[in-house]
Amino acid sequence: MSVSMRAAPRRTRLAAALGAGLTALVVALGVTWSGGTAYAATLFSDDFEDGNSTGWSKSGGSWSVVSDGSQVWRQTGTGADAKAQAGSSWTGQSVSARVKPIAFGNSSRSVGVAARLQSLSNYYSLVLTGGGAVQLRRVSGGGVTTLATLVFPVSTNTWYTLRLDVFGSTLTGFVNNTQLLTATDTTFSSGKIGLMASYASASFDDVTVSDTAGPGNPGSPSPYPPTPSVPPSPSTSPPPPGTCNTGGSPTGFAAVNAWGRSGTTGGAGGPTIEVDTANELISAIAQAGALNICVKGMITLPAGMYNVASHKSIIGVGSASGVTGGGFNIGLPIDDAITSPPANAVQNVIIRNLVFRNASDDSINVQMFSHHVWIDHNDLAQGYDGLIDVKRGSSYVTISWNHTHHHSKNMLLGRDDADDEQDTGRLKVSYHHNWFDETPQRNPRVRYGEPVHIYNNYYFHNTDAGVACQTNAGCMVEGNYFESVEEPITNSYAGPSGRCVARNNVFTGTEPGAPDCSGSVEEPSNYYSYVLDNPNDVKAIVTAGAGVGKI
C-alpha cells in the first residue's frame, strides 16, 4: 500500500491494493508541513482514466465509463433515482467533482454530489436542478429537505465543478469555486461520499475528497476549457413592510392550551415584512423569532421542502399569492428514536390565504411533534404527494376553510400503521369548513389520532372515500355535507380498523353512500367548545367562504 502524505495530482487515483486492478481508495495517515504551510490530506480521488469504476457501488440507472475528452463516468437514464457511493465513514470532508448534466426528467430533477452518506436514503447533497437552482439538501429516510437554495442558471451539456464542504454542523456549497450556499444541520456526523443523478442523466469526473476545506488540490490542468463562474443572484434590499391581514385566531385544537403553549398566534409581536422572491421567502420562513410574512404574488420555489421555524405567520396578499414548485415543512428532521415531544419541537405556525400549486413533494407537511399549527383559507391543487399531511406525533392543529381540488392524495393524518410510539395519544387535529372538491381519497385518512374532529366540511364527488378512520384512530364526524360520495365515512377502508362516530351529517347527490362507522370516540368538547352550523347549510357556507381572498 502506497500512501502519499501530500495532495496527489488532480488526475491521479490513489489506492489501497485490494486486488488486481483495484485502485480506488486511500486514507491519508497524516499531514505534511513545509515552510509552515499545512497540506490537506486527500482521502479519495478518482478520475476514471483506468476505464473502470472499481470501488464504487451503484443503485439505479445505467452507469458506464465513456470517453468525453477524457474518461468520465456517465449515467444515461432519466427514469430512475440513480446514486453511487464510495469511500469510508469520514467526518469532516470536502467533496468535489466535475458534473455535466445531460438531460433532466423534468424541472424538479437534479444532479450533484453527496457527503456524510450513511445509506442511499440518508445523506447531505449539493445539487443542480433542471428548473434552474442550486440546492443544499438533507435526505433523511428518503425524505428530501432543502436546507438552502439559490436561483442559478443550469445548462445541459455544460461542465460545473460542485464542491460540498461538511465540517462540524456547517454545510457549504460551491459551484465553479464560488461559494453560493451555506446551512447548519446536525443530523449526520459522518459517512461516505456519493454522486447523484435523480431522474437525470449526467457525466461525472475528477472526484476528490479532502479532510480540509479549501479551494482544491493543486495539479495538472484539466483538458477541458474552464466553465465561467456564475455569481449568485444580485442581493436585494431588505423586504418592505407587509400589507397582508395578520389578524384572526383559530378555533378547534390549534386554540387549545397544551404542551406549554397558549393557543396559536404565529408571528404576533414580531415585525411584518413582504416577500416576492424565492430567496426572500425561504430566508424569512427559516429565521428565528416571531415574524409575519406577507407573500406577494405567485413565487416559484425550486423543487424541495422548505423548513418553517417556530412563531411564523405566512399569509398571502389578495387572492392570487402563493407558491409553486416547492412546499413547506413544519417540523424537525425525522427521528424514530424520539417518542415524546422534544423541547425544541416546531410550534406556533400560521399559514393562511395562500395558493399552492405543483409542489415537488408535499404542499404542506407537519411532522415530529410540531404543535399549535393553523392552516386556513388556502387553495391547494396539483401537488405531487400530499396537499396537507400531519404525522409523527404532531398535535393541536386546525385545518380550516381550505379549498382542495385537482389532486388525489389529499390529507394524511398519521404516517403508517407501524408508527404507534410517536402517534398514539397525539395527532389531535380539527378539520372544519374545508371544501374537498373531487379529491378522491385522504379527506382525511387517519391513523392513531384521537379525537380527530371533522365537522362542517363540504364533500363533493369523492370517488374513493371521504373520511377513512383506521389503525385505532378515533374520529368524530359531525355536521358535514356529503354530496355524491361513494364511501363518505368508513373505519374499515384499509389496514387495521379505527373507531368513528357519525352524527348529524347530510348524505345527498347521485348514489349517496352510507356511513360505515362503529365504536366510541372521546368527545372534542372535552378540549374546546364549538358551535356547529346546520349541516343543510354547509354547502352554501363553505363554497362561499373557503379558499383564498376570503379573510
Helix or strand run (H / E) with residue 280: helix 278-286
CA distance 135 to 139: 12
Report the C-alpha dihedral over residues 458, 464, 465, 469, rounded to 10 degrees: -150
Point out the catalytic residue in the list 442, 445, 447, 499: 442
442 a catalytic residue: yes
Q: What is the DSSP letter of 441?
A: B
Angle, alpha carbons 137-66-10 (nearest 5°)? 65
Rg of the chain, C-alpha, whole Å: 26
Beginning with the edge strand found earlier in the chain, give each strand of the sheet holding 312-316 in spatial order.
Answer: 272-275, 291-295, 312-316, 347-352, 371-376, 395-400, 429-432, 452-455, 474-478, 499-503
Beta bridge partners of 58: 84
Q: Can you tell me the distance from the alpha carbon of 119 to that of 191, in angstroms, rounded to the nearest whole number?
A: 8
SS3 122: strand
How many other C-beta atoms lie within 10 A of the C-beta of residue 25? Answer: 21
Torsion angles phi and psi, residue 347, rounded to 5? -150, 160
Q: Where do we find the cell 399549535?
A: 372
Task: Give the Cα separation of 53 and 270 in Å (integer).
Answer: 54
Q: Copy the grid coordinates of residue 504.
A: 348529524
Per-residue burial over 364-383, b = 16 or more CB atoms within 10 Å of its CB, e = otherwise: bbbbbbbbbbbbbbbbbbeb
* Distances from the Cα of 417 to the Cα of 258, 340, 448, 494, angstroms: 26, 18, 8, 10
What is the C-alpha separation between 100 and 83, in angstroms, rounded? 15
Q: How far is CA 346 from CA 80, 325, 341, 424, in A?
A: 34, 23, 10, 19
Cell numbers 468520465: residue: 72
Which residues are designated catalytic?
442
